[in-house]
Structure formats: structure tokens, C-alpha cells
Amino acid sequence: MTSSLPSIAVFDSGIGGHNVYHKLSQLLPKHNILYLSDSDHVPYGDLSSEQIKTCFLNSLQRLKSYPIQLLVVACYTVSTLSISTPYPTITVLDAALNLLQMKSSKRLAIMGTQSTIKSGKITTPSPSTELFPIACPELVPLIEHNDHHLAEQRVKYYGELFKSMEIDSVLLACTHYSHLLPLMQRHWSSQIDIIDASETCALQVGEYVNSLVLKS
């Protein structure tokens, strides 16, 4: 690793942020990218705001021995709390809000943890978009424990629910849910636009890092 290139840490409560991490590794192959998770306390969505803040900041203590110059928060639940960190920070929530600006959804479902949905932080700039926030607390444990059968049953359930609600777009407001994309594409209507901000988040990080390199 060249000394002028920044070191990056990607944080998530569990395995959800792996997609962001892998996309970043492809975009920035010359950079050292660390993946930091707090699997002891996953899922964060069932914790109080104070518990989430404590768990998150305690996790960041593990980064002290690394020359981290950028933190990527790939956890929506943490992102909604706007917690100050000692590092320049890019969140997947910011990426999702930017991505929604480019969409023309009429009936948008937001799938997230209890905490993310209760925060009300995910909005759309278009007054013509009707939002349907849906808490899905059962999904993260199923994904963490690789329970493919039950996860598929839940994906089918949400597919039927969205069909009955005439949903045209779904924002996956939890990076864990990205792991269910193949199931969603198989069991949901092809008319539903599944919005996953993992790649957008990685691209924003890439742009930020490249701007730092150009200025150095």
C-alpha cells in the first residue's frame, strides 16, 4: 500500500456490509480496507438508541491501532442516529437518499430494522411518492444464521404483501437484506424496482478517495 493512499474501514453490525466491502475492494484494489463488525450484539435494530451508540463506539475502539482515514458505515441502523466519529465518515444512508433522488417511484416500500423504520430518516424528495415503511426484524437473524429455508418463506411473504399493496419500488434499508437479492428477484414481481444502495455507497467512497489522492 502506498503511504499517500488512505486506509478505509467498513463497519456493520454483522455480515450485512460484506457487499459494500467487496464492491470497494474491486473499486480500490490498491487500498487497505478493513471490515469491522460487532457480531456479539447483532441485530442492532432491536436495541435502544443508547445501546446502539455504545456498541458502535466501543467497536470503533478496535480501529485505534490502524491508520484509518475514512470510515464507511454500512449499517442503516447506526447511520440513522448521526453518531459523531473520530474519522471522516460516509454512510450507506446518505448513499440511499442520493439514490432515491434518481428514482421515480410512486409507491415505495422501505424495508428496514425496527430502529431504522422508527427513525423516519428515510424520505424521498418527490411529493408524488407515497412511502410505506415496513419493519422486518426477523430477517437479520435469518441471514446471520444462514437459514435459507425460512428466509425464502419470508421473501415470498413480502412479495405477496407488496403485490397486494401495488408497490412499484422497494428500498432495502438494511445491508443484510442485499444477501436475499437472488430470492427477491426470483419470487417478486419483475415490475418491482429493488433499490440496493450498496454499490452507490461504494462509488461515493471511491469518488471521495480519488479526490483525496488528487489533492495530495
Cα separation, 105 vs 127, whole angstroms? 10
CA distances from 159 to 47, 121, 168, 207 (A): 27, 24, 11, 35
Question: How far is 196 from 114, CA to CA, in rounded Å?
Answer: 18
For this structure, is 201 an active site residue? Answer: no
Contacts of 11 (CB under 8 A, 6+ apart): 17, 36, 37, 38, 56, 59, 60, 71, 72, 73, 74, 75, 78
Query: DSSP 3-state assignment of 196?
Result: coil
- Which of the following is catalytic: 55, 75, 136, 201? 75
Residue among 55, 136, 174, 201 flagged as catalytic: 174
Residues that are catalytic: 75, 174
